[in-house]
Amino acid sequence: MMHGVTIGQAAAFVGVTVKTVRHYHKLGLVAEPERDSSGYRRYGSETLLRLVQARTLAAAGVPLAEIEPLLDADAAQFATALADVERQLTDRIEELTARRDTLHRLADGNRALLPDRAVALLERMADLGFPADEVAATREGWVLAKALVPEGFDDYLGDVELALEDPRGVALIKRGIEAASWEPDDPRIEELATAMADHYLANPAQLKIVTGLQARTEAATRYKMIAHHGEEPGSAVARMAALIEAKLRAAGIRIP
């Protein structure tokens, strides 16, 4: 009379594959039964119980390398070991949750790289009528600024918020955007640069948009990378930026 079941039946009863059962044998989690007189390995109730226990612990997230001590532990050791596994799983859950949140933010290109406050300001710019390509360019500049001067970025966003509440400041910025289509030697560029420099000097809070980030950098290189990101050398925009900075320096403002 044969006692026990075959490996295929054991795997089906326990809810795993035959390959998994053999893997448990290889790891030493479950002893492989001896062959019967017919040459077959028969799985009895004790072996099936051990398989169920191993499968349950593995399904709960216990690493396979840690299952064998748990199977052989007494009640107190088992409870202590499970508490440690639970802590590990909690840490893993928190890590996976953070990754999931990052993936959700990646669905929105802005939120993947910028804080919600910056995203709200980009939306505010769009509502104020700034062209989509200018909003996109601003986003790129802010991503760069956040990476290069992270400790000053939040204060910078506060300065931008104030500037967007000033209709004259917004109008000047929009005029500056229009200047991108002008020829570099257009006389209107110097007039606009003067008007913008005068506006900044008359509104110190808005001037910090120009000076705030560079004041926190240890080298002019970072400031130049942020302030002049996306500019074409020799373009109307580059000339206007250079004129504004020159006028601010002439007024005693430190610009690298």
DSSP conformation class of 39: S
DSSP SS3 for 239: helix
Answering whether pTM is above 0.75, one says: no
Dihedral, CA of residue 131, residue 135, residue 137 and residue 142, to nearest 10: 160
CB 251 within 8 A of CB 194: no
- Residue 44's closest CA among 16, 3, 8? 3
pLDDT tens digit at each of 256 positions of the chain: 446 888 999 999 988 999 999 999 999 999 998 888 788 889 988 899 889 989 888 888 888 888 888 888 888 888 888 888 888 888 888 888 877 776 665 555 566 678 889 989 989 999 999 888 888 888 888 888 888 778 878 888 888 898 899 899 899 888 888 888 888 888 899 998 899 889 888 888 777 777 665 544 444 444 455 555 555 667 887 888 888 888 888 888 877 5
Compute φ and ψ for 41, nearest 5 degrees: -85, 125
DSSP conformation class of 214: G
Strand partners, 41: 35
Residues 6+ positions from 127 with CB-CB distance below 8 Å = none
